[in-house]
Amino acid sequence: MDLGNLGPIAIVVALLLVIAYFVPAVVAFSRGMSNRGTVLVINLFLGWTVIGWIVALAMAAGSNRPAAHY
């Protein structure tokens, strides 16, 4: 394996990992979720824990109906 050509591959892999990391935030913003800021913060600060990433994705994929006010 020629390690001299690893630079461009490493850049592409790093870019794909960053895109995958922010999938929950992208989903929340594309769906126009009312809690998109919360999803972004959880994704940004807790996404690396995997559990935080799953929580953020669940919040982004959840219902977008406003809460009933009585």
Distance CA 3, CA 9 (A): 10
Nearest in space to 35 (alpha carbons), one of 13, 20, 54, 57: 57
Phi-psi region of 33 (alpha: psi -120 to 50; beta: other; left: phi over 0): beta
| Residue 11 placed within a domain | no
User: Is residue 67 domain-resident?
Assistant: no
Question: Is 16 contained in some domain?
Answer: no
Instruction: Tell me whether residue 31 is in a domain.
Output: yes
pLDDT value for 36: 93
Question: Is residue 35 included in any domain, yes or no?
Answer: yes
Q: Residue 13 and residue 9: Cα distance in Å, rounded?
A: 6
Q: For residue 31, what are the domain limits?
A: 23-62
Within a domain: 51? yes
Q: Is residue 7 predicted with pLDDT exceeding 90?
A: no
The model's pLDDT over 14-69, given as tens digits with 9 standing for 90+, comes to 999 999 999 999 999 999 999 999 999 999 999 999 999 999 999 999 987 776 67
Please tell me the predicted confidence (pLDDT) of residue 58: 96
> Does some domain include residue 33?
yes
Q: What pLDDT is recorded for position 69? A: 74
Count up the domains in the chain and report the number: 1
4: which DSSP letter? Answer: G
